């Protein structure tokens, strides 16, 4: 991105939350760039600051409010900022309620405004105030039966699903000039990272008692493989080496397109895209992880040996109250199969403690499962009521202090266990995708190995290595620092256990 010019309209996109939101922001960036807006990095240098909010859990909502307030304060100072607009999950979920509680925001716009966001921003700069979004249960916008959704989805706004049929065309050409040929993608990259999230699908059909996401993200809707592949090629042309496939539930991909095994066939096509060295799948539901998909992830050359499994708990009693499936035994069996297929695979998960009705025995069962599971990364969340969810009305609520104690207990255990798991990797061969330089040591580059997902799964430090983002370094792990690893490049790797991806680099 470039510095703003005084004769153009400029916009800054501030993204909060998950990588799915990052894709949505880049779609908005593409639409706005096509409409003649100049994209800038800092809100203080923009005519309009668009904050892509997160509405997942209480802390994320607080963070979104804080960022919106900070952006609004710029309007009263020397900054260029004239307007602040809230979009994203929190705006979609709360709409008018958010607008009433946050008059500092000039507009609160839902997903249905994305396709015409430029018009809304122009109106705001001319003193108009668009009507605030009125929330609806977005599950009702698509047919109940998955197989009936493919055609119906064309009339529903689904962020991150920009398709080749959309009239907007984005390319690295001057404004107003469309490519004569080549990929048609509604997206503009907002960073220079060598990896990028790529949406497989949006929405979710599961009815987990604690989760509000399906109500504001809608029913599950897969992107067509042709659109996914087109965007993958577009990203590769812009220097992306690793594709991070994201959705609310990747194991459901294809069910609404008539082929639940579609991801198994799509993965090798993605790895064959010129320039793409690694494909990583995120957010797998343990109860839906089919043997064929497990095999595809574990054995397809160019697919990361990585399993992002959403366990949430291991006590069968708690899982049933959560309206989920599984148990300690089921999950350990699944992990055994994963490691039989891919012995050095990375496995990450999230767990919730303090769910209504959870007993001390349930917590200890979870602790025992985590001890035996040997996971690489575990996110620990304390339960909190979410508006409109079944769990908010359950009995057996625990006090905030008790939930905090349980979070502290499990978090302490997880920190110890994941550090031990990282230590077990000393001596392994890894192929590291370089992402940048260590903030504390300019002589050390940092990146990720195949078993590490972006941003939240730890990193590999390579002291004394000279490499630029996007390069691959073959190395052997020599030390662990918590979940982070330290490694040294090697030229001869015979006999060293490997988690390298054979087609990468």
Task: Say whether 54 counts as a known binding-site residue.
Answer: yes
Contacts of 408 by beta carbon, 8 Å cutoff, 6+ apart:
none
Three-state SS for 435? Answer: strand
What is the 8-class DSSP label of residue 477?
Answer: E
Q: Comparing C-alpha atoms, which of 88, 103, 95, 89 is closest to residue 133? A: 95
Contact by Cβ (8 Å): 363, 410: yes
Q: What are phi and psi of 344, to 5 degrees?
A: -110, 20
Task: Say whether 89 counts as a known binding-site residue.
Answer: yes
Contact by Cβ (8 Å): 317, 280: no
Contact by Cβ (8 Å): 413, 482: no
Residue in the block written with tokens 């359950």: 394
CA 141 from chain centre, in angstroms, equals 24
Task: Say whether 269 counts as a known binding-site residue.
Answer: no
| DSSP assignments along 30-79, one per residue | HHHHHTTPEE-S-GGGSSEEEEEE--SSHHHHHHHHHHHHHHHHGGGSSS
Task: Say whether 486 counts as a known binding-site residue.
Answer: no
Q: Comparing C-alpha atoms, which of 160, 153, 131, 158 is closest to residue 29? A: 160
| Residues pairing with 486 in the sheet | 461, 479
Q: What are phi and psi of 274, to 5 degrees?
A: -60, 130
Q: Are strands 472-481 and 429-438 parallel, antiparallel or unpaired?
A: antiparallel
Burial 45-78 (b: 16+ CB within 10 A, else e): bbbbbbbbbbbbbeebbebbbebbeebbebeeee
CA 290 from chain centre, in angstroms, equals 22
What is the 8-class DSSP label of residue 290?
Answer: -
Q: Determine the longest span between alpha carbons in the chain, in angstroms.
A: 69
**Annotated binding site: which residue ranges?**
18, 54, 89, 204, 208, 211
**Annotated binding site for [4Fe-4S] cluster: which residue ranges?**
18, 54, 89, 204, 208, 211
């Amino acid at each position: 991105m470039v510095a703003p010019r005084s004769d153009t309209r400029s916009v800054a996109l501030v993204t909060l939350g998950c990588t799915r939101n990052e894709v949505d922001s880049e779609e908005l960036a593409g639409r706005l760039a096509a409409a003649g807006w100049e994209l800038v990095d800092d809100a203080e240098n923009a005519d309009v600051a668009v904050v892509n909010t997160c509405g997942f859990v209480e802390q994320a909502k607080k963070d979104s409010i804080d960022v919106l307030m900070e952006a609004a304060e710029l309007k009263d100072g020397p900054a260029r900022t004239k307007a602040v607009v809230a979009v994203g999950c929190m705006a979609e979920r709360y709409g008018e309620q958010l607008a009433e509680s946050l008059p500092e925001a000039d507009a609160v716009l839902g997903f249905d405004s994305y396709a015409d966001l430029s018009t809304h921003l122009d109106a705001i700069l001319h003193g108009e105030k668009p009507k605030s979004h009125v929330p609806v249960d977005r599950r009702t916008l698509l047919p109940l039966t998955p197989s009936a959704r493919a055609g119906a989805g064309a009339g529903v706004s689904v962020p991150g699903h920009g398709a080749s049929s959309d009239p907007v065309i984005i390319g690295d050409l001057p404004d107003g000039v469309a490519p004569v040929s080549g990929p048609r993608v509604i997206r503009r990259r907002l960073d220079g990272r060598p990896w990028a999230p790529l949406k497989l699908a949006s929405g979710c059909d599961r009815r987990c008692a604690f989760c509000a996401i399906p109500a504001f993200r809608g029913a599950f809707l897969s992107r067509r493989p042709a659109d996914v592949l087109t965007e993958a090629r577009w990203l590769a042309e812009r220097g992306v080496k690793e594709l991070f496939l994201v959705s609310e539930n990747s194991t459901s991909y294809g069910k609404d397109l008539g082929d639940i095994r579609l991801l198994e066939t799509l993965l090798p096509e993605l790895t064959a895209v010129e320039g793409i060295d690694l494909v990583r799948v995120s957010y797998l539901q343990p109860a839906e992880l089919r043997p064929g998909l497990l095999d595809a992830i574990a054995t397809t050359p160019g697919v990361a040996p990585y399993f992002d499994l959403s366990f949430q708990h291991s006590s069968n009693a708690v899982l049933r109250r959560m309206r989920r499936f599984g148990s300690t035994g089921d999950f350990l069996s699944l992990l055994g199969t994963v490691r039989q297929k891919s012995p050095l695979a990375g496995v990450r998960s999230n767990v919730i403690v303090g769910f209504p009705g959870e007993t001390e025995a349930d917590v200890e069962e979870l602790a025992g499962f985590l001890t035996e599971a040997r996971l690489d990364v575990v996110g620990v969340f304390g339960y909190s009521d979410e508006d409109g969810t079944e769990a908010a009305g359950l009995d057996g609520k625990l006090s905030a202090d008790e939930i905090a104690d349980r979070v502290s207990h499990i978090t302490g255990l997880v920190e110890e266990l994941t550090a031990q798991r990282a230590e077990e990797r000393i001596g392994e061969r890894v192929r590291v995708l370089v992402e940048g330089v260590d903030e504390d040591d300019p002589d050390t580059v940092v990146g990720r190995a195949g078993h590490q997902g972006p941003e939240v799964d730890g990193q590999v430090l390579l002291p004394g290595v000279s490499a630029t983002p996007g390069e691959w370094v073959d190395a052997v792990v020599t030390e662990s620092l918590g979940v982070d690893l330290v490694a040294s490049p090697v030229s001869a790797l015979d006999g060293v256990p490997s988690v390298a991806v054979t087609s990468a680099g």
